[in-house]
Structure 1
Amino acid sequence: MMADDAQNIRRKIIHIDMDAFYASVEQRDNPEYRGKALVVGGLPEGRGGVVATASYEARKFGVRSAMPSKQALQLCPHAVFVRPRFAAYKEVSQKIREIFRRYTDLIEPLSLDEAYLDVTTDKLEVGSAIEIAKQIKDAIKTELQLTASAGVSINKFVAKIASDMNKPDGLTFIGPSQIAAFMEKLPVEKFFGVGKVTAAKMKNMGLHTGADLKRLTEDEMTKAFGKAGRFYYQIVRGIDNRAVQPHRETKSVGAEDTFAYDLTQLDEMNPELDRIAETVATRLERYGLKGRTVTLKVKYHDFRQITRNQSVSTPVSSAAEIAQIAKQLLAIAATDDMKVRLLGISLSNFGEPQRKTDQHTDQLRLF
């Protein structure tokens, strides 16, 4: 009976990941880009361009997200570079979410182009998570002329790994009986939370796959990797009890820009802050948010970086208010010989102010 109960409450999790999302939207909307190596992101001219995403035609040449655009051009000289249209991507993302909501309200968006869905109980009573994933993929293709890849399993970790296995336009199911063997074969760098530094440490210890990690006791894992060791101990055994969180709280909203040449005068920087503040205000309006803490980010020519912030008692959201505070922070931080390559503004502290501290919140907090 207990085994039956455990089976009955076993979750059905789908991870949906759009295929080369920004590039695919551009190719859909602009027929002249179809079949071409397309890079969406900063332009290779100047010095600050970074790849947001690349079409599969460009990926064949080694172009990847977060790569400098200049490097992408060297790898793929015939690539077409276009700037992102985030408003268009947001609109498409909302339509994708509408398709998700036909089946479940338990949706945890990770970004514009990926999300977890808990379909343990689905609205249409389809019952099969694999069939739901197939129907969602078909709807995205038919209604939006885009493709998505899906991973299906009993927890978030395995579903996310599965969605990446047969891209593009893939559908991969990893059932309970397959998880143990799957995890043992998985390279350590594919494990959730294992970055480059931790992966290198693991390999230096002779730990290359899940099977290698599985040989360590929980105490040995914790001793080697701290608190994360316990998580690795569980995840290598396919244990991931994280629930799909449908309401992910937005902590901050911001924007930044890297300039083609160093800015040295406030008269040059202030108009840039006006422009960045406009972008932040647009994003705040999209989410219906107002915040009480404005943070200024400044990166210098030598890549040294500082942040300065100011909190106010009355929440702000307009571009003018945000820009004014950012300019005040910049003026305080300014030096005679500064050479600025990047400016950024973010707004945070969206909650209600604490009454006992209202009288102090207008002071500058510099760090």
Structure 2
Amino acid sequence: MNDDASPSQATQNQAAAAPLRKIIHVDMDAFYASVEQRDNPELRGKPVAVGGQVRGVVTAASYEARRFGVRSAMPSVTAKRRCPELIFVKPRFDAYRAVSQQIRAIFLDYTPLVEPLSLDEAYLDVTEDLKGIGIATLIAQEIRARIRAETGLTASAGVSYNKFIAKLASDQNKPDGLCVIPPSRGEAFVATLPVSRFHGVGPKTAEKMARLGIQTGADLRAQSLAFLQHNFGSSGDYYFNLARGICHRQVRPDRPYKSIGAEDTFLEDLTDGDALIAELDRISQTVWRRIEDKGIKGRTVTLKVKFRDFQIITRAKSLERNVADRAEFLETGVALLRTLLPVAKGIRLLGLTLSNLTESPDRDELEPAELELELPL
């Protein structure tokens, strides 16, 4: 640790040269569950979980359910145990996509620079807004009011000078809240937050940071660039900047999907076939939720394996038609994995990806969605 650490001259120059932007991150409140409660008055005010009750997982939970500790990606059996009164409803992705299109149309009234992350959240760059309002906070207030009036749903928003802080801010006053972080408060705001909330810091990375004495943004800021590069490789520069409220990622609309996938790095290397298949099952659930969320279809399943010695191999299989459902997605991935079993050396990472996409989302196409999954995001 270096208490005297300061940004490198290159970082200082980069931050000084980067123009200040006006970024809004809009995040719908318990979106799927809220749509169900809106469309079925009998569900209002009650704990609701979208997903399968038998041998399934929770896709989304209402705020009434969250008070009992019910969360998305939680096994349905666990959710029911935590909340015996929990009401399960089957997901209606066509309905969610239709509402998402309504919301997207509202965004586009203010800026063409809209980058959806999923059906229920998006970044907007309103540095130059179409209505000439000029104040990002007022734009966010107007957008939230229109969403409520036109869809009957609530949204939370974060307003700041970059994507990183805007996304953090949108979560500060949920549900139905607004949080504004100007440039003068950015670094101090980041300092107070746990690093586990930072974009790009998953549970595994957060655990490693905790072992190094890094729990908050302030702890991260106290580390030298050399220390972070040594412990986190090329990501060290990224974390160094985040701790200082610096993020140069632009709002990027209309970038085509190339693939949707996820990967998980294990705390201990695995060799047992059943354990590896169980991990692949977990990964497939998260990937398939994103596939359904975005309304995408594809023909090629790719398995990625990283061994104990960091050797990486991939295996892929293309079907003559689109993969039908998660069961087939997982079955194809398992078949690829079985070609490697038994393994002579431990496996430290598995990944599963859908590509060769043949149908785009109903909304404009987005950026490639290849994420590093560190399961509980």
TM-score by length of 1: 0.71
Per-residue deviation, 1:295? 2.8
Q: 1:30-76: per-residue Cα shift (whole Å, max 9, x none)?
A: 00100100011121x2x2x1011111110000001110010000000
Amino acid at match of 1:295: V
The reply on whether 1:237 has 2:247 as its aligned counterpart is no
Q: 1:134-184: per-residue Cα shift (whole Å, max 9, x none)?
A: 011000100100000000000000000000000000000001111121111
Structure 2: runs of 5 or more not aligned: 1-15, 262-287, 304-313, 340-351, 359-377
Provide the rounded CA distance (Å) in 2 between the counterparts of 1:242 and 1:332. 35
1:37–1:57 contact (8 Å) kept in structure 2: yes
Cα distance, 1:66–1:307 mapped onto 2, change above 3 Å:
farther
Per-residue deviation, 1:252? 3.7
Provide the rounded CA distance (Å) in 2 between the counterparts of 1:125 and 1:252. 37
Structure-to-structure mapping, 1:47-196, within 5 angstroms: 47=55, 49-196=56-203
Cα distance, 1:333–1:13 mapped onto 2, change above 3 Å:
closer
1:296–1:330 contact (8 Å) kept in structure 2: no
Provide the rounded CA distance (Å) in 2 between the counterparts of 1:88 and 1:189. 32
Percent identity between matched residues is 53
Per-residue deviation, 1:232? 0.3
Structure ranking higher on relative contact order (CA contacts 8 Å, 6+ apart): 2
Amino acid at match of 1:247: D
1:310–1:329 contact (8 Å) kept in structure 2: no
Cα distance, 1:85–1:216 mapped onto 2, change above 3 Å:
same
Amino acid at match of 1:215: A
Amino acid at match of 1:27: Q
Provide the rounded CA distance (Å) in 1 between the counterparts of 2:128 and 2:181. 19
Structure-to-structure mapping, 1:328-339, within 5 angstroms: none
Shift >6 Å, 4+ stretches: 326-335
Q: 1:318-355: per-residue Cα shift (whole Å, max 9, x none)?
A: 97xxxx9x9999999999xxxxxxxxx9862359xxxx
Residue matched to 1:220: 227
Paired residue secondary structure (1:349): strand
Residue matched to 1:295: 301
Paired residue secondary structure (2:301): strand
Structure-to-structure mapping, 1:349-364, within 5 angstroms: 349-350=356-357
2:18–2:248 contact (8 Å) kept in structure 1: no
Amino acid at match of 1:74: R
Amino acid at match of 1:310: S
Amino acid at match of 1:207: I
Provide the rounded CA distance (Å) in 2 between the counterparts of 1:91 and 1:37. 24
Amino acid at match of 1:133: A
Paired residue secondary structure (2:209): helix
Amino acid at match of 1:53: A
2:300–2:355 contact (8 Å) kept in structure 1: yes
Provide the rounded CA distance (Å) in 1 between the counterparts of 2:108 and 2:158. 18
Which of 44, 47, 66 pairs up with 1:34?
A: 44
Residue matched to 2:26: 16
Structure 1: runs of 5 or more not aligned: 1-5, 255-278, 298-305, 336-344, 352-367
Provide the rounded CA distance (Å) in 2 between the counterparts of 1:176 and 1:311. 50
Cα distance, 1:183–1:332 mapped onto 2, change above 3 Å:
closer
Paired residue secondary structure (1:240): coil
Provide the rounded CA distance (Å) in 1 between the counterparts of 2:47 and 2:78. 14
Q: 1:93-136: per-residue Cα shift (whole Å, max 9, x none)?
A: 01100000000110000000000000000111011100110011
Provide the rounded CA distance (Å) in 1 between the counterparts of 2:335 and 2:124. 46
Amino acid at match of 1:32: E
1:58–1:76 contact (8 Å) kept in structure 2: yes
RMSD in angstroms over aligned alpha carbons? 3.6
Provide the rounded CA distance (Å) in 1 between the counterparts of 2:248 and 2:338. 48
Amino acid at match of 1:38: V
Q: 1:168-217: per-residue Cα shift (whole Å, max 9, x none)?
A: 00000001111121111111211221111211121122112111111111
Equivalenced residues, count:
292
Paired residue secondary structure (2:240): helix
1:295–1:346 contact (8 Å) kept in structure 2: yes
Which of 241, 250, 262 pairs up with 2:257?
A: 250
Farther-moved stretch of structure 1 (193-202 vs 143-152): 193-202
The reply on whether 1:310 has 2:318 as its aligned counterpart is yes
TM-score by length of 2: 0.69
Amino acid at match of 1:17: D
1:253–1:348 contact (8 Å) kept in structure 2: yes
Cα distance, 1:215–1:80 mapped onto 2, change above 3 Å:
same
Q: 1:296-315: per-residue Cα shift (whole Å, max 9, x none)?
A: 89xxxxxxxx9751277xxx
Provide the rounded CA distance (Å) in 2 between the counterparts of 1:213 and 1:327. 41
Cα distance, 1:333–1:223 mapped onto 2, change above 3 Å:
closer
Per-residue deviation, 1:247? 1.5
